[in-house]
Amino acid sequence: MKFNTKTIHGGQHPDKAYGAVMPPIYQTSTYAQSTPGGHKGYEYSRSHNPTRSALENALASIENGVYGLAFGSGLAAIDAVLKLLKPGDQVISTADLYGGTYRLFTKIFEGFGIKFCFVPMDNMDAIENYINDRTKLLWVETPTNPMMNIIDIKGVASIATKHNLLLAVDNTFATPYLQRPLDLGAQIVMHSVTKYIGGHSDLVMGALIVKDKQLADQLYFIQNASGAICGPQDSFLALRGIKTLHVRMQRHCENGKKVAHFLKSHPKVDDVYWPGFVDHPNHLIAKNQMDDYGGMISFSTKEDSLEGAIKVVEKFKIFTLAESLGGVESLAGHPASMTHASIPKKEREKIGVKDSLIRLSVGIEDIEDLLEDLQQALA
């Protein structure tokens, strides 16, 4: 089955009870048993729920995985992966990544004795230099949030294989429409389903997708034992989102390309970060591992100041100033004070997240309206 068909049919079957084409919302915490243990595959909704199962099957299908696990948020999904580790273990992570992931790593798991090295992963030697016998996990986010760096998943996967390490890839920005990390050698794909997969800014959810049964069993144990699951209503919404992922992504990419080029040629704009530019430092990797370049763009203005950035984001009329990304509507963010405020200023600036940086999640509106909005905000 090809990708566009998979988004609609992958892992999906009409409901067994009445043939409902969309899985019903099984709004129940528990299931009747005829005798202790005598149930129809479902006993308690933290462990399993039919609507969540339908979503998990769809997620596994679109990522070319075998097992999907859905969580209450993207961070809950990352939390579950980190719980595979033990005190003393080491994680090597992409240097620039979502601020909340950095906060989870450094403020929660470092406290439990797990060590994190944040490494610019465009240099494979740099990764190998940090590996020791305590290293267990390589954590990759690509494209990175918000600097739009691209990490060579195949390259990192070969290091992971050589040293017998787990490789997890946060595929939130790309989605499986653009890149499929399990095909490139990763063992775990992670999503903030909140973003493009949900696609309508109406839910908060996370997911993990894997191929290996033993790894799936371990993660399922954590999902059930720690309990950070998502509910059936949100599972239904995410499933509905998946069914239009390909058409939405196609438009996000088309609009993203036009916005990126508009910004690059605008006299008041300084740097524009978007992997589709031939002069983007990782453009060739993006060209190889992604099918298009997405709708996420960061930029700074020539004024290069906090005040300048705030002036622009406050003037937007169609781009809404808000946290999050990946919905049908265009959003603008100011990473230094919003999504990446939890990274200390010094660390933030080291990875390029300066006070003047603005991040755009380009939606699927008419492009003329988006460009007009940018033009008036920059005027």
What angle do helix axes 50-62 and 232-242 make, rounded to 10 degrees?
30
The answer to whether the bond into 143 is cis (omega within 30° of 0) is yes
- Residue 293 and residue 256 in contact, taking contact as beta carbons nearer than 8 Å: yes
- Residue 240 bears catalytic tag: no
Spatial distance between the Cα atoms of 251 and 257, rounded to a whole number of angstroms: 10
- Least CB distance from residue 292 to ligand P1T, whole Å? 18
- Least CB distance from residue 231 to ligand P1T, whole Å? 14
Spatial distance between the Cα atoms of 108 and 39, rounded to a whole number of angstroms: 38
Distinct helix (H) and strand (E) counts, the chain? 14, 12
| Residue of 6, 67, 79, 98 with catalytic role | 98
- Residue 141 and residue 168 in contact, taking contact as beta carbons nearer than 8 Å: no
- Residue 46 bears catalytic tag: yes
- Residue 319 and residue 330 in contact, taking contact as beta carbons nearer than 8 Å: yes
Spatial distance between the Cα atoms of 7 and 240, rounded to a whole number of angstroms: 10
- Least CB distance from residue 154 to ligand P1T, whole Å? 20
Alpha helices, DSSP H, located in the chain: 3-9, 50-62, 74-82, 99-103, 124-130, 153-162, 175-178, 213-226, 232-242, 245-264, 283-289, 306-315, 345-350, 367-378
- Judged by CB, which is closer to ligand P1T: 145, or 179? 145
Determine the straight-line distance between the first and last CA of the chain, rounded to whole angstroms. 48
- Residue 302 bears catalytic tag: no
- The values of phi and psi at residue 265, to 5°, are -95, 5
- Judged by CB, which is closer to ligand P1T: 172, or 179? 172
Which residues of the shown chain bind ligand P1T in the complex (CB under 6 A)?
73-75, 98, 100-101, 141, 145, 170, 172-173, 192, 194, 204, 206, 323-325, 333, 339
Pairing of strands 358-361, 296-301: antiparallel
- Residue 264 and residue 277 in contact, taking contact as beta carbons nearer than 8 Å: yes
- Judged by CB, which is closer to ligand P1T: 182, or 204? 204
- Judged by CB, which is closer to ligand P1T: 275, or 333? 333
- Least CB distance from residue 5 to ligand P1T, whole Å? 27
- Residue 176 and residue 63 in contact, taking contact as beta carbons nearer than 8 Å: yes
| Residue of 31, 46, 271, 315 with catalytic role | 46
- Judged by CB, which is closer to ligand P1T: 228, or 285? 228
- Judged by CB, which is closer to ligand P1T: 93, or 301? 93
- Least CB distance from residue 320 to ligand P1T, whole Å? 12
- Judged by CB, which is closer to ligand P1T: 74, or 352? 74
- Least CB distance from residue 74 to ligand P1T, whole Å? 2
| Residue of 83, 136, 180, 195 with catalytic role | 195
- Residue 170 bears catalytic tag: yes
- The values of phi and psi at residue 174, to 5°, are -85, -40
| Residue of 79, 96, 152, 170 with catalytic role | 170
- Least CB distance from residue 20 to ligand P1T, whole Å? 28
Active site residues: 46, 98, 170, 195
